Structure 1
C-alpha cells in the first residue's frame, strides 16, 4: 500500500500516514447505518464520518455538523455546513475555542458540475484567492483538485475524461 507522511500536527502529534487510496462507503460491515466509512485497500477502516445531532440552541448558524473520527473513534475534526453553501472545519470536537483548519465555499453548482474553493486557515499574507480548487461531477462521483493551475489529484484512469474540465 502506498502512503504519504505528513509533517502536520493533525490529527495528533508527530508524523502520521494517510493511505493514498481510500474507499468511501455507507455500507461497510463495521459501521452502523448512515455512517460514512473510509477504508484502505485491505478493507480496514481508517476514518469515519458521523453526523452529529443538531443543537437547537445554536443559532443562526450551521445547518449540519459532522465529525471525522479516526479508526479508534477519536474525533479529529468537526465540520459545519452552512445554508449559504459553505463549510468550516475545526480541530477536535469542541464548540468552544474553535481552531479553524480550513473553509470551503461552493462557487458553482449545477446538475452535472460542482466547483469548490478551499482556503486553509494557516497565516495568509494577503487575500490571494483560494489554496485549492475542486472540480467534479456528482453523478460520476469523482473530482479533480488543483493548486493554482497545477493538477494535484485526479480520479483513476477508469473515470470519464470530462470530470476535470
Structure 2
C-alpha cells in the first residue's frame, strides 16, 4: 500500500509523486553525511559534532541553508530526539520528535511523534530495524504500511575511503527530507549506544 496524497512533514518540495532512492554516505572520521540521489546529485549535507555533548545535527540544502536541526533531549531515558525547522530550537518550530520504544533493545525500534501529536501513546510513524545488519523499515503509525526502507551498501571502495553508505528507498509522496532525518537519528542513537558500551567495557577491564 502506498500513500495517495503527498505526506509533507518538513516541506512539500521534498515530496515526489514517484519513488525516490537516495544514498546517505557517512564519513566515518568526521561523522558528517552527504545525501545524493541515484545519479550522484547532491540533495543534502548533514553537519554536526559526532562527540557533541548536546547531540546536535543540522541538515542543509544544496545551497548550505539549514532545513532542519536535530537535537538530542538531555537526560532523556529513551534517547528522545527533537527536530526543529531551520536552525531553530524553539518549541514553536518543532516538527517532530523520535524516541526509542524501550530503554533496552536488541533490535532498534523508534516511535515518531509529529509536533501536533501531544500524546505519547499513539505514534505517527515507527522505525524498526537491526543496526547490526544495517537495515531498517519506516512504517506509517504502528501499522504494516511501509513508507521507506534502508539497507547498507558494502563495497571495497567505501571501506578503503572510510565511508559508510546507506541506500534508502522512499515511497511515492513521502517527504524524503523527513526520512533522511530519521536515518540520521537512528545512526546517532546507535553510535552513542556503541560508545557507551565501549566505555563500559573499558571500565570493566
TM-score, scaled relative to structure 1? 0.68
Give the match for residue 69 of structure 2. Answer: 78
- The alignment status of 1:21 with 2:14, answered yes or no, reads no
Which structure has more helix as a fraction of its residues? 2
For residues 116-165 of structure 1, the C-alpha deviation after alignment (integer angstroms, 9 at most, x for no partner) is: 0000113x486651111111011111111222322313347x9xxxxxxx
For residues 9-33 of structure 1, the C-alpha deviation after alignment (integer angstroms, 9 at most, x for no partner) is: 844xx64445711111124xxxx94
For the Cα contact (< 8 Å) 1:47–1:68, is it kept in 2?
yes
- The counterpart of 1:154, out of the listed 140, 149, 156, is 149
For residues 26-84 of structure 1, the C-alpha deviation after alignment (integer angstroms, 9 at most, x for no partner) is: 24xxxx943201110011110111005999xxxxxx72110011111110001001342
CA distance in 2, matches of 1:74, 1:104: 23
1:140 and 1:6, CA in 2 relative to 1: closer, same or farther beyond 3 A?
same
Give the match for residue 144 of structure 1. Answer: 137
CA distance in 1, matches of 2:91, 2:150: 37
CA distance in 1, matches of 2:85, 2:39: 28
Q: CA RMSD in A?
A: 3.5
Alignment of 1:1-165 (within 5 A): 6=6, 8=8, 10-11=10-11, 15-17=13-15, 20-27=20-27, 33-51=30-48, 63-82=54-73, 83-84=75-76, 85-96=79-90, 98-108=92-102, 112-122=106-116, 124=117, 128-147=121-140, 148-152=142-146, 153-155=148-150
Q: Which has the higher contact order (CA 8 A, sep 6+)?
A: 2
CA distance in 1, matches of 2:9, 2:80: 25
CA distance in 2, matches of 1:111, 1:119: 19
For residues 64-118 of structure 1, the C-alpha deviation after alignment (integer angstroms, 9 at most, x for no partner) is: 1100111111100010013421100000113456511000011246674100000
CA distance in 2, matches of 1:74, 1:33: 20
- Alignment: residue pair count: 142
1:113 and 1:48, CA in 2 relative to 1: closer, same or farther beyond 3 A?
same
TM-score, scaled relative to structure 2? 0.56
Which structure has more strand as a fraction of its residues? 1
